[in-house]
C-alpha cells in the first residue's frame, strides 16, 4: 500500500465529525459489497470481544468460520484500534 495515500485516507476520515458526511464519503469510496463487508467485520469484532463463540457468530452473521477466525487472529495479534474505538480496552 502506498503510505502517502494511506495517510491521506486516514487524515480525511479522522477529520469527519458528521455521521451524514461520513456515510456519504464511505458510499463514494466503497462499493455496496465492500461497505457491507466492513460492517460485518465490525460485528465480528464486537461479538468476539463480548465473548460470543466463533460458531455462533458465523451462523448469526451468515459468514464462514474462516472469516470469523481471521477476525479472531486480528484481535489477538493485530493492532488494537478496533478495541480502543469500541472502548472495550
How far is the C-alpha of 67 from the C-alpha of 47, rounded, in Å? 13
Residue spans of the domains in the chain: they are: 1-30, 31-89
Q: What are the pLDDT digits (tens) for 1-21? A: 689 999 999 999 999 999 999
- Which residues lie below 8 Å from residue 13, measured CB to CB, with a gap of 6+? 22, 25
Q: Which three cell numbers stand for residue 67?
A: 472469516
CA distance 40 to 24: 19
Provide the pLDDT for residue 1.
67
* Cell numbers representing residue 29 in the block: 469510496
Higher pLDDT pick, 18 / 83:
18
- Record the pTM: 0.81
Quick one: average pLDDT of 71-77? 90
Q: Residue 89: pLDDT above 70?
A: no
Question: In degrees, to the nearest 5, what angle opens at C-alpha 81 toward C-alphas 76 and 83?
Answer: 65
Average pLDDT over residues 30-45: 95
Amino acid at each position: 500500500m502506498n503510505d502517502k495515500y494511506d495517510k491521506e485516507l486516514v487524515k480525511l476520515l479522522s477529520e469527519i465529525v458528521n455521521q451524514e458526511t461520513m456515510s456519504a464519503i464511505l458510499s463514494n469510496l466503497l462499493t455496496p459489497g465492500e461497505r457491507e463487508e466492513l460492517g460485518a467485520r465490525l460485528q465480528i469484532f464486537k461479538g468476539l470481544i463480548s465473548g460470543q463463540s466463533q460458531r455462533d457468530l458465523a451462523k448469526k452473521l451468515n459468514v464462514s468460520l474462516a472469516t470469523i477466525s481471521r477476525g479472531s487472529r486480528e484481535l489477538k495479534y493485530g493492532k488494537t484500534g478496533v478495541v480502543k474505538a469500541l472502548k472495550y480496552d
